[in-house]
Amino acid sequence: MQTTKENSKSTDSQNTKFNFDYAPALESTDIVQIKDRNLLFIDGKWVAPSQGKYFKTINPATGLPLAEIAEASTKDVDNAVKAARKAYTKTWSKLTGAERGRYLFRIARLIQERARELAVLETMDNGKPIKESRDIDIPLVAAHFFYYAGWADKLDYAIPGQKVSPVGVVGQIIPWNFPLLMAAWKIAPALACGNTVVIKPAETTSLSLLLLVQILQEAGLPDGVVNVITGAGETGTALVAHADINKVAFTGSTDVGRLIAKTVAGTNKKLTLELGGKSAHIIFEDAAIEQAVEGVINGIFFNQGHVCCAGSRLLLEESVSEIFVEKLKIRMQQLRVGNPLDKNTDIGAINSSTELEKIKKLITTGQNEGAEFFEPNIEMPDKGYFQKPCFFNRVSSAFTLSRVEVFGPVLAISTFRTTQEAIAKANDTPYGLAAGIWSEKGSKVHKVASSLKAGVIWANTYNKFDPTSPFGGYNESGWGREGGRHGLFPYLNTKQGAK
């Protein structure tokens, strides 16, 4: 094993230049009120779980509990589906698109009004830096509701030549990495299309969705249109298996996605799966190197690497590989890992001890396989679940780090000599969620983009999201699209012969 330590002479002299720190700028948590015990939300009411079971959610930056969350049993799931069916038949499907749109616009505006509260709560429960929850997650949550509110009365024009109708009751299951954003990606198009919802958040991050419920109530959303069943994997299994669900929308790991696909196979349920990734950045020698370094940093260290489309593989054209790696090291030396509520923090806490252990195990595997390991010499918090950002250089395609999704701030670097080799290496993965191309030459960007098997391709930027743009993957990264006009399709039945 070769280990490149950051204390080489050249890096040391460059580091001294950054030998200062910002004064802490902590976001106050006073705006957030967390109930000690949180119930299920079924048919417009807060209800206790039928088996009386609760589990704890923690703040991963401190390791301390924040609250107790109700665990929904199969019976609770059934009650939630019944409430959603009743609301679908009696209320929601009877409204016009314009009326549904009005509710969604109201929800979007209330999200904006309570944006700070939502951002602080998300950061406390998830561990992501406040500057991300405040500037990225919550604005995008509101943007999704605004965007799909606009579609609600225009569905007849969404698919030319087709008459559309809602699918009915949808079961939705979301992960912990973007808790409220994933909820918005699911709830907004479902409601715009006239469906009702039963949604399960991830076990470790239920709180922001429970706060969104308060907003739905404030917006006057009719009872049963959105039902929230908190719980673990078993609650999710019960939801997927429920006979009266017309569609399942899942975002999470490829392994659980496979299980869900098996359960749904042979039924009439529609299914969309948004799964994992091992996305590549391709840096050509003519790229603007400083911007590309920043893009790579953003691509893998943003949100602690807890991003399905994280740029976790870096392919460097050989002629610029050394200079690029040196610049990357210098930039990593400036990253601040720490209290997610501090506005200066770049990298917050890993969401749970389980996830942190998974990341550490994969780092050990990478070290044992013999790639060059680098981690910056930066201060780390002494409590909570934190991972230093790091990379492995000179990884071959056979290494675990080139193939397996780490879902943490860990980058795998390799080189290429020709464009064909770059394309072949980028596509050499069972996934196909995203890719980043860095080159000043537009024709090269277009040529490479058309050869990459990835759902989203960014050029000279990374991790840019917009509700008008569809998102989704190839192969083991999933089925179907969310976002944009395409994001309406899974929530609509179609019939030939419309306007």
Q: How far apart are CA 339 and CA 136, in angstroms?
A: 18
Q: How far apart are CA 441 and CA 447, in angstroms?
A: 10
Nearest 5°: phi and psi at 338? 170, -155
Establish if 345 lies at the interface with Mg ion (CB under 5 A). no
Q: Which is nearer to ligand NAP, 100 or 186 (CB)?
A: 186
Interacting partner of 484 out of Mg ion, ligand NAP, none (Cβ under 5 to 8 A depending on kind): none
Q: Which is nearer to Mg ion, 57 or 345 (CB)?
A: 57
Token code pair at residue 262: 């098996």
Interacting partner of 81 out of ligand NAP, Mg ion, none (Cβ under 5 to 8 A depending on kind): none
Establish if 311 lies at the interface with ligand NAP (CB under 6 A). no
Position among 384, 405, 416, 474 found at the interface with ligand NAP (CB under 6 A): 405
Residue nearest to ligand NAP (CB): 236
Q: Using CB under 6 A as the criterion, what x/- string covers residues 220-239 for binding ligand NAP?
A: ------------xx--xx--
Q: How far is the CB of 59 from Mg ion (least distance, A)?
A: 6
Residues 238-257 that bind ligand NAP (CB under 6 A): 240, 251-253, 256
Selected catalytic residue, list 71, 132, 203, 274:
274
Note if 274 is an active site residue: yes
Q: How far is the CB of 345 from Mg ion (least distance, A)?
A: 17
Q: Which is nearer to ligand NAP, 122 or 274 (CB)?
A: 274
Look at residues 232, 241, 213 and name the one whose alpha carbon lies nearest to residue 43. 213
Establish if 117 lies at the interface with ligand NAP (CB under 6 A). no
List b or e across 345-378, with b for residues whose CB sees 16 or more CB atoms inside 10 angstroms: bbbbbbbbeebbebbeebbeebbebebbbbbbeb
Q: Quick check: 202 and 231 in contact, CB under 8 A?
A: no
Q: Quick check: 53 and 36 in contact, CB under 8 A?
A: no
Q: Which is nearer to Mg ion, 55 or 479 (CB)?
A: 55
Q: Quick check: 351 and 366 in contact, CB under 8 A?
A: no
3-state secondary structure of 38: strand
Residues near ligand NAP (CB under 6 A), total: 29
Q: Using CB under 6 A as the criterion, what x/- string covers residues 69-108 for binding ligand NAP?
A: ----------------------------------------
Q: How far apart are CA 389 and CA 301, in angstroms?
A: 7
Q: Quick check: 204 and 57 in contact, CB under 8 A?
A: yes
Q: Quick check: 434 and 312 in contact, CB under 8 A?
A: no
- In this structure, what DSSP letter does residue 28 have? P
Interacting residues of 277 by C-beta distance below 8 A, sequence separation 6+: 308, 309, 310, 312, 405, 431, 432, 433, 434, 473, 477
Establish if 448 lies at the interface with ligand NAP (CB under 6 A). no
Establish if 321 lies at the interface with Mg ion (CB under 5 A). no
Which range touches ligand NAP (CB under 6 A), out of 268-276, 296-304, 318-326, 377-385? 268-276
Establish if 422 lies at the interface with ligand NAP (CB under 6 A). no
Note if 68 is an active site residue: no
Establish if 133 lies at the interface with Mg ion (CB under 5 A). no
Residue 222 one-letter amino acid: P
Q: Are strands 478-479 and 456-459 parallel, antiparallel or unpaired?
A: unpaired
3-state secondary structure of 410: strand
Look at residues 114, 186, 198, 99 and name the one whose alpha carbon lies nearest to residue 149. 99
Q: How far is the CB of 432 from ligand NAP (least distance, A)?
A: 11
Q: Quick check: 130 and 345 in contact, CB under 8 A?
A: yes
Q: Quick check: 451 and 437 in contact, CB under 8 A?
A: no
Residues 203-262 that bind Mg ion (CB under 5 A): 204
Residues 158-217 that bind ligand NAP (CB under 6 A): 173-177, 200, 202-203
Interacting partner of 308 out of Mg ion, ligand NAP, none (Cβ under 5 to 8 A depending on kind): ligand NAP
Q: Which helix (H) or strand (E) is 390 found in, with range?
A: strand 390-393
Residues near Mg ion (CB under 5 A), total: 3
Interacting partner of 57 out of Mg ion, ligand NAP, none (Cβ under 5 to 8 A depending on kind): Mg ion
Interface residues with ligand NAP (CB under 6 A) are 173-177, 200, 202-203, 232-233, 236-237, 240, 251-253, 256, 259-260, 274-277, 308, 405, 407, 433, 473, 478
**Catalytic residue list:** 274, 308
